A = this chain, B = another copy of it.
Amino acid sequence: MPTSKHFGDRLAQHVRQKNSSICVGLDPRWNSLPEALKQGVDVNDMRAVATATEVFCRAVIDAVASVTPIVKPQAAFFEQLGPAGMQALAGVIQHARQAGVLVLLDGKRGDIGSTAEGYADAYLGENSVWQCDALTVNPYLGDDTLVPFVERAVQRDAGIFVLVKTSNPGSGFLQDLLVGAQTVFQRMADLVESHAGNSQGDSGYGCVGAVVGATYPQQLAELRGRMPRAWILIPGFGAQGGSAADVLPGFDSSGTGAIVNSSRGIIFAYQQQQYSNLDWQEAVARAAADMAAQLALG
């Protein structure tokens, strides 16, 4: 579908073509899966659980693909199923790519140089083993540890999203600490912006982005201004408390530059009163379309 290969540009194209800034988080918690898929599965048989999980994620992708530029599988929920879960993850990634949806693996990886290279080699780009379009990266180890991720992303037309300000209640414990006149998250934002600027594409955005939670709208507004060339992934919408008004400050003046993630709110939409009269897959499709429309109204 896209003609450009640069990650920032591809994401911009997908957002434009689908007229949607939603990111659907694939967090396939077993207990929340539709009963129809769990029926007859022995929960001690990890292969069977992993297979049902993959079937669920593929069906979610099919249901949301028309309004979803990018999906975000959460690595933890696949790792939790052991090697069979990782096989399922590979199948889910492949299915999303075939459905014309970008894949951002939420692994929050981070390690020292040579090991960071290992992670970047593993996940980034269509010639890698896992073939992800992008990966979330944790910067605690230091600026030097981001370099292998950035280099691989540039070389392979892939992207990374660096944790800057996360959506959890305790994110301030470290991220809000004041160092001189700046917070830790502001320093991280400046580092991200520098990498984004050095990898800028035609869309104006680079292939290095930032994670900034919807639960901190004030910081989100400030960070949008501080990182004009970085895509922002905004988690924390819906189940975690962020509203459409809360995420608005994450977008640029032309209404782009951010993708807003919802996981439970979409993939388990059939548990919600308002969608309870629908088949589970229809509920998922409707919830994704509703969220996309909600954001478009902004």
Could you tell me which A residues sit within 8 Å of B by CB distance? 27, 29, 46, 74, 76-77, 79-83, 85-87, 89-90, 106, 108-113, 115-116, 118-119, 121-123, 129-130, 138-145, 163, 166-175, 177-179, 184, 187-188
A-B contact pairs, 12 of them (CB 8 A): A76-B115, A76-B116, A79-B123, A82-B86, A82-B90, A139-B140, A139-B174, A142-B171, A143-B173, A145-B170, A174-B188, A184-B184
Q: Is the CB of A141 within 8 A of B166?
A: yes
Residue of B nearest to A87 (CB): B83
A110 CB contact (under 8 Å) in B80, B108, B123, B177: B108
CA distance A141 to B90 in the complex (A): 27
Q: Is the CB of B140 within 8 A of A140?
A: yes
- A76-B122, A166-B112 are known contacts. Are A82 and B184 too (CB-CB below 8 A)? no
Across the interface, which residues of B come within 8 angstroms of A82, CB to CB? Answer: 86, 90, 122, 129-130
Across the interface, which residues of B come within 8 angstroms of A178, CB to CB? Answer: 179
Across the interface, which residues of B come within 8 angstroms of A79, CB to CB? Answer: 118-119, 122-123, 130
- A130-B82, A184-B177 are known contacts. Are A111 and B141 too (CB-CB below 8 A)? no
Across the interface, which residues of B come within 8 angstroms of A143, CB to CB? Answer: 170, 173-174
CA distance A9 to B212 in the complex (A): 40
Task: Please name 14 further chain A to chain B contacts, defined as beta carbons within 8 Å, in addition to the given A27-B115, A142-B168, A143-B173, sorted by A numbering.
Answer: A77-B115, A79-B123, A79-B130, A80-B121, A80-B129, A83-B83, A86-B86, A113-B168, A138-B138, A140-B140, A141-B166, A144-B169, A177-B184, A177-B187
Min Cβ gap A83→B in Å is 4
Q: Is the CB of A111 within 8 A of B171?
A: no
Across the interface, which residues of B come within 8 angstroms of A112, CB to CB? Answer: 166-168
Min Cβ gap A28→B in Å is 10
Across the interface, which residues of B come within 8 angstroms of A46, CB to CB? Answer: 129
Residue from A90, A111, A144 with most neighbouring chain B CB atoms (10 Å): A111
Across the interface, which residues of B come within 8 angstroms of A123, CB to CB? Answer: 79
Q: Is the CB of B108 within 8 A of A111?
A: yes
Q: Is the CB of A145 within 8 A of B119?
A: no
Residue of B nearest to A117 (CB): B76
Across the interface, which residues of B come within 8 angstroms of A179, CB to CB? Answer: 177-179
Min Cβ gap A26→B in Å is 12
Q: Is the CB of A168 within 8 A of B184?
A: no
Q: Is the CB of B80 within 8 A of A83?
A: no
CA distance A175 to B175 in the complex (A): 12
Min Cβ gap A138→B in Å is 5
Q: Is the CB of A74 within 8 A of B115?
A: yes
